[in-house]
Chain A
Amino acid sequence: MAEHHPVSDSKHKSSLNSGASYSGNGRSSTAVAERGSNAGAGGGGLSGGLSQPAGWQSLLSFTILFLAWLAGFSSRLFAVIRFESIIHEFDPWFNYRSTHHLTTNGFYEFLNWFDERAWYPLGRIVGGTVYPGLMVTAGLIHYVLNLLHITVHIRDVCVFLAPVFSGLTSISTFLLTKELWNQGAGLLAACFIAIVPGYISRSVAGSFDNEGIAIFALQFTYYLWVKSVKTGSVFWTIGCCLSYFYMVSAWGGYVFIINLIPLHVFVLLLMQRFSRRVYIAYSTFYIIGLVLSMQIPFVGFQPIRTSEHMAAAGVFVLLQVYAFLQYLKDRLTRQEFQTLFFLGVSVAAGVVFLSVIYLTYTGCYAKIHIPIIASVSEHQPTTWVSFFFDLHILVCTFPAGLWFCIKNINDERVFVALYAISAVYFAGVMVRLMLTLTPVVCMLSAVAFSSVFEHYLGDDMKRQSPPAEDSSDEDDRKNAGNLYDKAGKVRKHVSEQEKAEEGLGPNIKSIVTMLMLMLLMMFAVHCTWVTSNAYSSPSVVLASYNHDGSRNILDDFREAYYWLRQNTDEHARVMSWWDYGYQIAGMANRTTLVDNNTWNNSHIALVGKAMSSNETAAYEIMRSLDVDYVLIIFGGVIGYSGDDINKFLWMVRIAEGEHPRDIRESDYFTPQGEFRVDKAGSPTLLNCLMYKMSYYRFGEMQLDFRTPPGFDRTRNAEIGNKDIKLKHLEEAFTSEHWLVRIYKVKKLENRDRVEHKLRSTDATKQKYTTKKVSWDFKHWTV
């Protein structure tokens, strides 16, 4: 405007007639510009949430959350697009089977389900040994859809449950981060958690596992907890308890919540941040949460019996004492005595709390040294590489976010700091617990990125910051008695940023912004790549690629399982290593001896013993266990490394743990201490049942012209025992690529001989039968 006026006037001066129209134009254009700037100001006012709370901002965040959900859902569909809508891996097959049972037989039948097809001859009480949340969720969705006559098969519900829940997870992460920091960070966190590989690894389409819904429950419980600590309202606490109940019903990881929340309360007490809000929130949460969690049959009385839950009880008592002391403090006047008393109590309680925690986790460690737990790959300690692989740039930025939180500490930021620290510790102990670390890393990284962008992102910063300040002010005003002052912090931010702007100039600003955006872009690319390459294989179906890019599908697992399903007796008992128990039950629908619910170590050890004994000894064990078929996985033909020979040492170790007199691990090694399948291998190994079954008739097979017959591609060795004869077993089925081999256990061959002898003399028959009976008896007592 300052420029327009002189220009128009000079026009007017030079030529009055024509200048009129020009100046008119000039005026109108300024008017338009002015109006535009006013409209912009109006927009700013809207987004400030003053004039219209449900305005552009909520539309924008709704859109971003919706897109995050969509992106999270679609990036989990690689496996479905590449293969088919199928349940993955091992545990999901059990979950699918029990969900199927639930939908066909109803809820009560499911709760009372005694599965006689597992752990033969013991059976398994499924209803009481399972976290039913997953099945009930899937069953409920299926029920509702069918009620609306949307005839979706339960399999598809199960396959797509985890991707759908990932959307809910990102929304609850948004809510939680919004409570902790601000809306912008919340949206970033929602986008991060939607695509971060650490979470995708457990929630791709088809991986129908507890973790898929448990992370949602975890985040939502934390959100409600933070909300109840902030407001001190019983309403939010009850919501938190219900969410906690859902979490308890879904995953054993609920123990993390029931320890983290008391820890939070305890640390708040130590930091002198005790308030009425914390008292209301925790007291309500502990009592109602406890009662609700005990409703799950599998959990039962554990919350009042086991050491994992004692910390919560201790903090509850401590809180009551503390509140009582506070009350007394108001009544009494002897201040010094009070403070001394308080110190004494808190120190004592702290010691108790820490010792309980110590006991709990040392207890966990003791369990880890059982070989069966150690044998699971996901129970191994996490490597640095897998941190980066699963979290990429977030693993670098999340300490910054943590620092921001600690720098501007308040009640809920104490919580997130504790969450971060404990999750980092557990993720370091076990690969599997990477999952609990992922959400907090996403949240804190979002905080870090959001703060950096607040500093460096453009001129509109000036216009954006005052409204943000206003809204946070309002938040603060709502919860009376806050000890911290967020508004002050933001003001400091503004001044800092202005200083930085003056010092750095626009170039630095844009460079930093570009750099951050590049990092985020690389993060998105990495996430997609990891999801596509590492986490999207169903592992039930394998694929190999030819030189021209065409794909071969190796469907051996389902071939063999389906053969079992169709062509064996309905009550046939199949012995296999426990890894395949759930799959056999789910796909082949046959009775198994051991499965992935490794609750009975000695039973597994017995199977391990059968696999690692010689054929005759194994036959006795198999007879005593009524085994009809033995199923093994053999990867020697196609070079599949996850086969039973590679797992064999674990079988030996587990068997040795229970039967140290019969099985010794050292017998299976060469004198040099090597585990070899070729001629140099130990004779015990070359004659054990597993070896014989794996390589039966493999010695005749020449895979290509450069290698001798009987060349094992997985272990790159020519096998040592090529002339394998089976006496008590016979080959029943071998899949196309020899990946799965099924052997039939022959019945005792004695009938014919008995008949034959019967004709010769009567006396012999008499003798023989008695002998036979005693022999049989002996077997049963083994």
Chain B
Amino acid sequence: MTARGLTPSLLLQLLVVAGAAGARWRGQGTTPHLQSIILGRCAEYDALVNPDPRGRNCTAIWEAFKVVLVKDPCSVLPSDYDRFIDLSRHSIPRDKSLFWENNHLLVTSYSENGLRFLPLCSVLYGRIGDFLSWCRQENASGLDYQSCPTSEDCENNAVDSFWKRASMQYARESSGVISVMLNGSEPSGAYPVKGESCGEGTVKILEERLKKMGFQYSCINDHLPVKLLKCVDHSTHPDCVLNSAAASREIPPLWAEHGASHIVPFLVALASAVHM
């Protein structure tokens, strides 16, 4: 294919499409410069976020992570990350755990960088993997930058196994009051089995499971601070108008939402852990 007559961006798009069409797996390829990003994140965590008085060895943490990069892309088990977790784990303050489903960005905003809550992506081992993708090539020893397997391709892929192992650790280290943020407007159901409000539908399934496990729980619809946060993006929606003299309503907002979506009841289930 000659490049003459094609603008550079069009050529690039065609190449990307061609590349994607030939991709082995359904998921995004390995993030470029994976090692530098991981080392940088570890260093940043240690220097700025939560320094370990004993000192963390980020090189050792990277070496422990690296072991999965030589494995067949569909043969990576959660236990392959055991050493990595061992080196990067740290305690989680009581009552700060926040589990979530289908609302990654909202959770990040609401957690306020670990001030309000410490979700998995704010814990060292979670932060290391956040938004990254990685896998070895199927028939060669190098990393696959084109695509990586998702759960639809195979269960034991590097990324899914990572999050399974990390989530297990996170759950084990959680104590006190555990919070869960679910997306009530997710068509397949807030609790991923398939309810939109407390005591209904899929949320009822969660509540019953927790009851069986011996946990106390309570559920709040439309938890105010979270509703306020959602409203930041939809400030012109009728449900989001504040009733206060201090807020100005007369000046037309600069960022009017086009076709403001409906604010649906937002669920926060608070489950009180009996152990610890």
Partners in one complex: no
Mark A residues whose CB is within 8 Å of B.
none
